[in-house]
Chains A and B, each alone.
Chain A
Amino acid sequence: MKETIAMLLAGGQGSRLYALTQTIAKPAVPYGGKYRIIDFPLSNCINSGIDTVGVLTQYQPLELNAYIGDGRPWDLDRLEGGVHVLSPYQKIEGSDWYRGTANAIYQNFGFIEKYNPEYVLILSGDHIYKMNYSKMVDLLKKTDASVVISVLEVPKEEASRFGIMNTDKDDVIIDFEEKPEFPKSNLASMGIYLFRWDVLNKYLEDDNNNPNSSNDFGKDVIPALLNTGKKLVAYRFEGYWKDVGTIDSLWEANMDLINPNVPFDIWADDWRIYCRNPGRPPQYVSNDAVIQNSIATAGSSIDGNVDFSVIFDGVEIHKNATVRDSIIMPGSIVEEGAEVHYSIIAEDVVIKKGAKVGERPENMDDIENWGVSVVAAGLTIGEGAFVRPKAMVYDSVGEGEEC
């Protein structure tokens, strides 16, 4: 028996990441020089003492399944418990995809029952943060709540983008509003729910029997709990937390790692973030290179100019190439004289000599047309080609062409 087990919702398509999630699920998207988004909740689990995690996958699961493997990188290869990938499966009464977040958990009750836990932690695979989940467990015990929901104080003007929790003076949740036009508080739900297992069991059973439900935690289950007078308590999280569901937010979250003013430290020894290691030799910085304000990982080689950028493993930046304010994912090559500005370059892309991807905002006549450029995995940007700012490139660009 386990006190707390975690269920990690990793089935989301991440459609607002467009070209980056064509063939991989959002939690498998590379982040921060050597990680994938899912490394954060998985590392948080093990660092919080949770050693049993079900990862619910549905959209493009191959790469994610291979990445998680036996869970060893996160110390989640356990005799009892450990990490398990849970895909939709066929049942005697037929087969069914996961319909909504609540339904995905409901379909895996069998997994939870096997461990018969006191508490079930519901996590999502789209956020970058370091958090000790055991504090939520402590709060639930202390307040005798049915559910503890993690919340973050957001600026008032941004509150209408989030699910907002209205609480009384003891942080007991009295009301929940999804993306309210006129928010009554600034406590945003982080999509992290700690349930008593018996409560989760009952409410998901009810939710499943309700034909009008969209089977979503935020939209259906939480309101149902509130309507029936269950005690829901908000856990106030303090620290760095970022939803990386859009191109801009993914770009920002990467840049936050190199910004000394952002209090997010992945170098600290007391809360390591684990990942499957690419196993490459150290990175090489040559005599021709100029690298500052950047992070880079094993196996990369830098001969060009790199500033305010995130360089993943195996990336090559050739002589006289310039990479600024950009993210270059594993195995990509920026050839001689090429320039990359404000861009996300996915895995195994080749940017040929003299090509230019992205633009600096200060060089724009009309700032409305400016934005982060994205090049999908495996493409080639031909010699002297130009990829416009804000472009979303799905196909290779020929020599001298503009896209």
Chain B
Amino acid sequence: MLTNKAMGLIFANMHSSSVGNMTAQRTMASLPFAGRYRLVDFCLSSFVRGGLREVGVIVKENYHSLMNHLGSGKEWDLSRKIAGLMVYPPFIGSLSGTVYHGKIAALYNVLPYIKESGSKHVVLADCDHVSNFNTAELVNNHIDNGADVTILCYEQQNKDEGGLNATSVLRDENGRVIDIDFNRPPKENYLVSMNIMVINRELLIELVEDAYSHRMIVLERDILQHHIKDLFINTVVYDGFVRRINSVQSYFTSSMSLLEPDNRKCLFDPLKPIYTKVNDDAPARYGIGCNVKNSLVADGCIIEGEIENCLLFRGAKVRSGSVLKNCIIMQDTVIEEGASLSYVIADKEVKIGKDRSLMGYESYPLYIQKGSVV
């Protein structure tokens, strides 16, 4: 039998509520990002490059767009004879009949599958952090140090990210975690967890069974914090590009930070490619009289108007005479002639009519829901 060092488990719905209507019809994992990706792509690509051949995606609700995106997992090379990609809907496990609440119940629900796995370790990941982390390094560090749990962390540079959804950890001089803090801006000397961690599989099973029978809910609080003295919780510090998405505002600033060449270089290192579902768009077309400045443009876009500091997803159309500044325009959205937009996030398949004028503000970008007609 094929044995792997580690299997991966992705929580698709965690933190969905933090970005408001952006996840009205999708999971956090399927939130579109960077012109052609969805948040889950960053995690999946890192897993696959790190040698994981068995990845489960735990979904709870609103997961149609995610299923559609993932398909058989072929785009991530996870369509395998043995293991590969598996999506776990809520009604499959020991809790059948109810939708679970909290990560512990979610894990309890899929315990039979975790028990079947031949892997020694499990990498658990939420999809709220965008980065290009190194799964192999994380798993090897975990093994080499003989840790029970290893959390991937970073030093929060950007104060704007605040504390929502933040789990921060304090380490002693040996790197061992001695305190875990939740939902507030990280205190001095605390590192922020990327909500990605490795844990020994058998230990995970034991901890989840125990926690579930005690009606515990939150993995970080009720397992890690609870056992902080008797578990060896170690950390690996990631120092590349990372952004936490915990609000519409942080979605906006994280997206816009990709206009910086250094950030792109780090997130889209050609040696560490991010895989995604292919859309078969034609190249982007820049029309006569268009004016494009400091923008990221995906394939299939047709630009006839003026754009500055914008991020255009696949198939977005900007008609002549329209002016877009500081906007994120998602897939197949059309901006008609003469429209003027500033600090707007237009979701997929939105239509902005002729001569419409819409304006958000840097600290409060205006979000327009999927399929809206303005």
Name A's B-contacting residues (CB within 8 A). 32-34, 72-73, 258, 260, 266-267, 272-275, 277, 279-287, 289, 291-298, 306, 310-311
Contacts and interface: CB of A to CB of B under 8 A. Distances in A.
Contacts of B287: 292-293
A337 B62 CA distance: 51
B26 to A, nearest CB: 20
Nearest to B307: A285
- The 10 A-B pairs with the shortest beta carbon distances in the complex, nearest first, are A33-B283, A282-B35, A295-B283, A281-B268, A282-B298, A277-B278, A266-B282, A282-B296, A297-B283, A285-B292
Nearest to B285: A295
B283 A291 contact: no
Interface string B295-319: 1111110100000000110000000
A282 B283 contact: no
B276 to A, nearest CB: 7
Contacts of B264: 281, 284
Given A282-B296, A292-B288, 13 more contacts: A32-B282, A34-B283, A34-B299, A72-B74, A277-B278, A279-B273, A279-B275, A279-B276, A281-B274, A281-B296, A285-B294, A295-B284, A297-B284
A292 B286 contact: yes
Contacts of A291: 286, 290, 292
A101 B192 CA distance: 65
B116 interface: no
B283 A285 contact: no
Contacts of A289: 292-293
B294 A282 contact: no
29 contacts: A33-B283, A258-B285, A267-B300, A273-B280, A274-B280, A280-B270, A281-B36, A281-B274, A281-B296, A282-B34, A282-B36, A283-B297, A283-B298, A284-B259, A284-B264, A284-B296, A286-B293, A287-B294, A289-B293, A291-B286, A292-B286, A292-B289, A292-B290, A295-B282, A295-B284, A297-B283, A297-B299, A306-B286, A310-B283
B275 A296 contact: no
A83 B71 CA distance: 22
Interface of A is mostly: loop
Given A72-B74, A73-B278, A275-B280, A296 B286 contact: yes
Contacts of B261: 284
Contact of A293 (B37, B274, B286, B298): B286
B286 A284 contact: no
A226 to B, nearest CB: 40
B374 to A, nearest CB: 23
Nearest to A274: B280
B288 A282 contact: no
A287 B310 CA distance: 12
Given A282-B297, A289-B292, A293-B287, A34 B274 contact: no
Contacts of A274: 280
B286 A295 contact: yes
Nearest to A306: B286
A34 B282 contact: yes
A83 to B, nearest CB: 16
A282 B312 contact: yes
Contacts of A72: 74
Contacts of A284: 259, 261, 264, 295-297
A279 B294 CA distance: 22
Contacts of A297: 283-284, 299
Given A72-B74, A293-B288, A285 B293 contact: yes
Given A281-B264, A293-B286, A293-B287, A298 B294 contact: no
A160 B264 CA distance: 53
Listed residue (A34, A280, A281, A297) with the most chain B CB atoms within 10 angstroms of its CB: A281
Contacts of B267: 281
Listed residue (B259, B293, B302, B312) with the most chain A CB atoms within 10 angstroms of its CB: B293
B273 A267 contact: no
Contacts of A298: 36, 298-299
Contacts of A295: 282-286
Contacts of A277: 278, 280
A280 B273 CA distance: 8
Nearest to A268: B282
Contacts of B74: 72
Interface in B219-275: 259, 261, 264, 267-268, 270, 273-275
Contacts of B311: 282
A328 B290 CA distance: 21
Contacts of B300: 267
Contacts of A282: 34-36, 296-299, 311-312
A69 to B, nearest CB: 12
A206 to B, nearest CB: 42
A272 B280 contact: yes
Contact of B294 (A33, A260, A267, A286): A286
Contacts of B292: 285, 289, 291
A72 B298 CA distance: 22
Interface string B89-122: 0000000000000000000000000000000000
B369 to A, nearest CB: 23
